[in-house]
Amino acid sequence: MIPPPLPASADSRREVRISAPRFDGNESKYVQECIDSTWVSSIGRFIALFEEGFARFCDVPHAVAANNGTSALHLALLGCGVRPGDEVIVPTLTFVASANAVAYCGAKPVFVDSEPRTMNLDPALIEARITPKTRGIIVVHLYGHPADMDPILAIARRHNLFVVEDAAEAHGARYRGQIVGGLGDVGTFSFFGNKIITTGEGGMVTVHDAAKAALIRTFRGQGMQTDRRYWFPVIGYNYRMTNIQAALGLAQLEQIERYMAHHRTVASWYAHYLSPIADMVALPIEEPWCRHAYWLYTVILNDAVAVDRDALMADLAAVGIETRPVFYPMHVLPPYFEADAHYPVADRLSARGISLPTHIGLTEADVAYVAGHLTRLCSL
C-alpha cells in the first residue's frame, strides 16, 4: 500500500471550499465610487473600462459586457445569426448553459462526445454530426483546458460554420500561444462567483468583427438602434452589466495574472501530492500545445478502483472537503434526452470525475490535506 503523502491527523481538520472569490485589490474602492457617484445601474465609467481592459487581455478588438455568462453565450449566438430551426454542434459534456443558449435561439444543440485526455469535444467526431442545418460549433474549454482548436477551425472553414468559444472556465488559458476567447469568431466568459475572476454575476463576449460587436450590443440593450432612441428594429434583451459589477470586474482584472498563476501553483501541488496514486486516479493533463487555466483540478477515478464516486465525495465532505462531480452530459438531461445516445467517453468522465478545491486562497497545506484524504479513501 502506498503511504499517503501527508497523513492528516484528526486534530488538523480543515474546511476546504471548492471555490472562493477574493477581493483584496481595488474592489471596495471602485464599488464605493459607484455608490458615491450614484452610477449604480448600467451606465457608468467602469463598464467601458472593464470592456476595454478585457478586450486587451484577450487580444481582441471588441468586448461586450453582459449580466452573466449564459446571456453572453446567447448574445454570441444571436450575433452569429443563429435562427429557429438551425443546428449548432455542442459538446455533450459541458455546463447546461452551452446547450440552453442554443435552445434560447429556437435552434437545436447537436451533441458530440469528448476525447478522454482533455475532456473536450473530440474534433474527430464533429463532421459526422454536420447536416445542411448546421450553422456553427460551440467549443467549451472544459475546466480550463483549451480544446484542440486547429482541427475544429479547419472543419468550420470547410463547412462554412461559425465557431463560438465558451471560455467561461478558461480565463487566460492559451492555445498554441494564443489566448482563448480570441480563437474563434466570438468568445464568451462568465464571472460567476466561482470563476477565476468574478463580478458576482456577470459575463463578457469577445469579438473580432466590429459589425458583429455592434449587433451584440444592440441585442444586449433591448434591440434599440444605437442612433435612434426608442426605435427597436429587432426583439432584443436586457442583458446589460451594471456599473457595480464592472467595478468589481475591473478590480479583479487588475489581479488576474496573480489569480491565474495561483491556479497553476495549486495544480502543481496536487500533481505532486497525488502522484503516488496516479494509477488509481487519472490526474488532469496539459497538452504540450496549451496552457491550462486549471479553473478546477478535476480527477477521474480509474475503472479498476472499486470506490464509488459519490460515496467518496461524501467521505471527503465528512472531513471538511468540498468537491463536486463532473457535469451530467447533456444527452441524459430531460430537455435534451436521447434514448439511443452513444457518448461513451462523456458518460464515463461524468460518472467517475471529481473536481477538487481550486482557488486563490488555497495553501499547500490545504492541498496536502485534500490529497491525503483522497489517497486514504482510494486505498481502502
Ligand X SMILES: *Cc1c(COP(=O)(O)O)cnc(C)c1O
CB nearer to ligand X: pick between 97 and 267: 97
Among 31, 58, 80, 97, binds ligand X (CB under 6 A): 97
| Least CB distance to ligand X at residue 101 (A) | 8
Q: Which residue is nearest to ligand X (CB)?
A: 69
- Cα separation values, 37 from 28, 83, 167, 212, Å: 14, 41, 33, 32
CB nearer to ligand X: pick between 192 and 269: 192
Radius of gyration of the chain (CA): 21
Per CB under 6 A, does 367 bind ligand X?
A: no
> Going by C-beta distance under 8 Å and a sequence separation of 6 or more, which residues neighbour residue 289?
148, 175, 176
- Tell me which DSSP letter residue 182 carries: S
Tell me which stretch binds ligand X (CB under 6 A): 42-50, 131-139, 163-171, 172-180: 163-171
How many residues touch ligand X (CB under 6 A)?
14
Among 42, 92, 98, 134, binds ligand X (CB under 6 A): 98
Per CB under 6 A, does 252 bind ligand X?
A: no
Per CB under 6 A, does 185 bind ligand X?
A: no
Per CB under 6 A, does 255 bind ligand X?
A: no
- Cα separation values, 314 from 33, 325, 373, Å: 44, 11, 12
- Cα separation values, 285 from 43, 300, 341, Å: 43, 11, 27
In this structure, which amino acid lies at residue 60?
V
Among 70, 134, 242, 243, binds ligand X (CB under 6 A): 70
1 CB-contact burial (10 Å; exposed 0-12 / middle 13-18 / buried 19+): exposed
Per CB under 6 A, does 94 bind ligand X?
A: yes
| Least CB distance to ligand X at residue 202 (A) | 7
Per CB under 6 A, does 112 bind ligand X?
A: no
> What's the number of CA atoms in the CB half-sphere (13 Å) around residue 170?
30
What is d(CA 208, CA 157) in angstroms, rounded to the nearest whole number? 16
Per CB under 6 A, does 259 bind ligand X?
A: no
| Least CB distance to ligand X at residue 197 (A) | 12
- Percent helix, percent strand, percent coil in the chain, to nearest 5: 40, 15, 45
Which 3 state secondary structure label does DSSP give 74?
helix
Tell me which stretch binds ligand X (CB under 6 A): 62-70, 82-90, 276-284, 302-310: 62-70
CB nearer to ligand X: pick between 141 and 373: 141
- Return residues touching ligand X (CB under 6 A): 68-70, 94-95, 97-98, 140, 166, 168-169, 190, 192, 203
